[in-house]
């Protein structure tokens, strides 16, 4: 696939209506439906057993994000906090 064809597909591919009223209230309104479908599939695929481990890690990121965190005790002080359940 050529780069121009990929950019055209990416520009025209939408998951939600941009003119809906949810667009003003929710920052994730464009991917909320597809995200809920993925979460439902993941929940149906695996149920936790007797031993459950929750690991938290910091993905280094110094750009501009609304949910970026600053944790002074971590090696990477600025970033996105990620919780992994195993």
Question: What is the predicted pLDDT for the residue at 7?
Answer: 93
**Alpha-carbon gap, residue 67 to 58, rounded angstroms:** 12
Residues of the chain with pLDDT under 70: 21-24, 86
Question: What is the predicted pLDDT for the residue at 63?
Answer: 85
Question: What is the predicted pLDDT for the residue at 6?
Answer: 93
- 5 sits in the region (left: phi over 0; alpha: psi -120 to 50; else beta) called alpha
Model pTM above 0.75 = no
């Amino acid at each position: 696939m050529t780069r121009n064809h990929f950019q055209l597909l990416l520009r025209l591919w939408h998951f939600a209506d941009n003119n809906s009223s949810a667009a003003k209230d929710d920052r994730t309104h464009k991917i909320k439906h597809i995200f809920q479908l993925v979460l439902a599939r993941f929940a149906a695929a695996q149920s936790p057993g007797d031993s459950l481990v929750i690991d938290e890690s910091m993905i280094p990121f110094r750009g501009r994000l609304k949910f970026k965190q600053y944790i002074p005790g971590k090696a990477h002080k600025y970033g996105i906090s990620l919780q992994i359940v195993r």
